[in-house]
Every structure is written in C-alpha cells, then in structure tokens.
C-alpha cells in the first residue's frame, strides 16, 4: 500500500468529503490542507483571503503541503488551487499516489452554491460562469495525477471503491 495519498481537484469535486471517508476505511491519518491552514493562521479561509490576500494564502498552503508530505500512512486532501504552483505538483508526485477528482461545472454549482466558505466563488457574477472560467484557467493542471475519478452523479462510497480498486492494482 502507498504510504501517502493526495487528493486534488477543482473546488467542490468532493476532496475533503471523500478523503476523510477513505482515510477511515484505510485506517490512515487524515489531513486537509485548508483545515491545517485555518489552525495555523487562527482564522477561516475566507477571512485569511480578505485580510492577507490570495498570495499569502498560497505561501502558507505550500508550507503546509511540504510538512504534510512527510507524514506516514496519511490521506492528504488539498485545496483546488494547490496545483497552481509547479513545486506543489512536483512534491505530491514525488511523495505519494495522487488521485484527481473531477465533476461537471453544473454539479459543482449544485454542491457549492449554498456555501460561503470559498472566497474565489463569492463574486457577484453568475456562479456557473465563474466556475467555468476558473476551470478553463486551470485546465490541464490536474492531469499529472496517477488516477482521475469522475464524481458527477456518483456516491462517495462508489468513488472510494474505485480509488481502492486502483490502489490495490498499482501496489501489485
Ligand atoms: N459524490 C458526491 N455527491 C454529492 N455531493 C457530494 C459528493 N462529494 C461531495 N459532495 C458534497 O459537495 C460539497 C463539497 O464537498 P467537499 O468535500 O467540500 O469538496 P472539496 O473539498 O473538493 O471542495 C459538500 O457539501 C459535500 O457534501
Ligand atoms: O481552488 C482554490 O483556489 C481554493 C479551494 C479551496 O479548497 P477546496 O478545493 O477544498 O474547496 C480553498 O483552498 C480556497 O478557498 C481556494
Ligand atoms: Mg476541501
């Protein structure tokens, strides 16, 4: 079994939800980079963006990822923008098995529209347009993953089953 699993993917693809359940099943530790940032900075992500800006958030995110990438037997879930830094992509690729979750823009809108916690999706403009625009800007950045799992219209259980099946294949 791989020592470390990273979950990457656009906002709302289910990384935090799937990662926690997967860690429980595998009896691995669970770390979410956003939750670690909140603990370290003593404020919510939206507050951090508002008070210190996105560039500062990205610095803390990279530092947290670097610490998490050394831990044993862990499922590590990341924020959707972690892939913006090439060094982060390289670090994950080198230190674990990387699973990308994907979902359609429509499904992402359904999942996140009631949630105020993602500052990059709080603009006045149409949410579907905003999601589509950001997805276009990030196109290709999740492609380095060892495995990509589509999550639209799928239960968390079936997503986990697909990940576990691929883990057992790749460790033989
Ligand atoms: N497979 C799924 N089907 C339906 N809803 C889901 C699924 N996975 C996650 N969700 C829901 O979508 C929202 C975003 O999930 P979250 O795990 O926070 O995503 P991420 O960490 O990728 O931003 C949450 O309300 C979560 O319950
Ligand atoms: O895509 C992004 O740039 C972000 C994704 C968020 O995490 P989730 O992908 O878990 O929503 C969080 O890190 C922050 O709001 C920025
Ligand atoms: Mg998350």
pLDDT, one tens digit per residue, over 41-99 is 999 999 999 999 999 999 999 999 999 999 999 999 999 999 999 999 999 999 999 99
Q: Tens digits of per-residue pLDDT, 120-171?
A: 999 777 999 999 999 999 999 999 999 999 999 999 999 999 999 999 877 6
**Ligand 1, CB cutoff 6 Å, lining residues:** 9, 11-17, 111, 151, 154, 156, 159
What is the set of domains in the chain, with CATH numbers? 4-170 (3.40.50.300)
**152 annotated ligand binder:** no
Supply the pTM of this predicted model: 0.98
**DSSP codes of every residue in the chain:** --SEEEEEESTTSSHHHHHHHHHHHHT-EEEEHHHHHHHHHTS-HHHHHHHH-HHHHHHHHHHHHHHHTT-SSEEEE--TTGGGSHHHHHHHHHHSEEEEEE--HHHHHHHHTT----GGG-SSS-HHHHHHHHHHHTTTTTTT-SEEEE-TT--HHHHHHHHHHHHHHHT-
CB 80 within 8 A of CB 10: yes
Ligand 1 centre to CA of 19 (Å) is: 10
Ligand 3 centre to CA of 172 (Å) is: 30
So what's the pLDDT on residue 10? 98
Mutate to test the pocket of ligand 2, among 15, 36, 50, 79 (most ligand atoms within 8 A of CB): 79
Ligand nearest to the CA of residue 34, numbered in listed order: 2
**151 annotated ligand binder:** no
Could you tell me the sign of the dihedral formed by the alpha carbons of 145, 148, 151, 155, in that order? negative
**81 annotated ligand binder:** no
The two tokens of residue 159 are 């997503």
Query: Atom 7 in ligand 2: which residue has the minimum CA distance?
Result: 79
């Amino acid at each position: 079994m791989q020592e470390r699993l990273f979950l990457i993917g656009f906002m709302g693809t289910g990384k935090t939800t799937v990662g926690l359940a997967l860690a429980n099943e595998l009896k691995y530790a669970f770390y979410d980079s956003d939750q670690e940032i909140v603990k370290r900075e003593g404020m919510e992500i939206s507050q951090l963006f508002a008070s210190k800006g996105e560039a500062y958030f990205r610095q803390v995110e990279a530092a947290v990822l670097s610490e998490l990438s050394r831990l044993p037997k862990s499922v590590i879930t990341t924020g959707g923008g972690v892939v913006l830094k090439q060094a982060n992509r390289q670090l994950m690729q080198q230190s674990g098995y990387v699973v990308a979750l994907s979902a359609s823009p429509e499904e992402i809108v359904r999942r996140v529209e009631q949630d105020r916690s993602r500052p990059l999706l709080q603009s006045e403009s149409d949410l579907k347009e905003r999601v589509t625009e950001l997805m276009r800007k990030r196109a290709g950045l999740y492609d380095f993953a060892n495995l990509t799992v589509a999550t639209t219209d799928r239960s968390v259980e079936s997503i986990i089953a697909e990940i576990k099946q691929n883990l057992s294949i790749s460790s033989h």
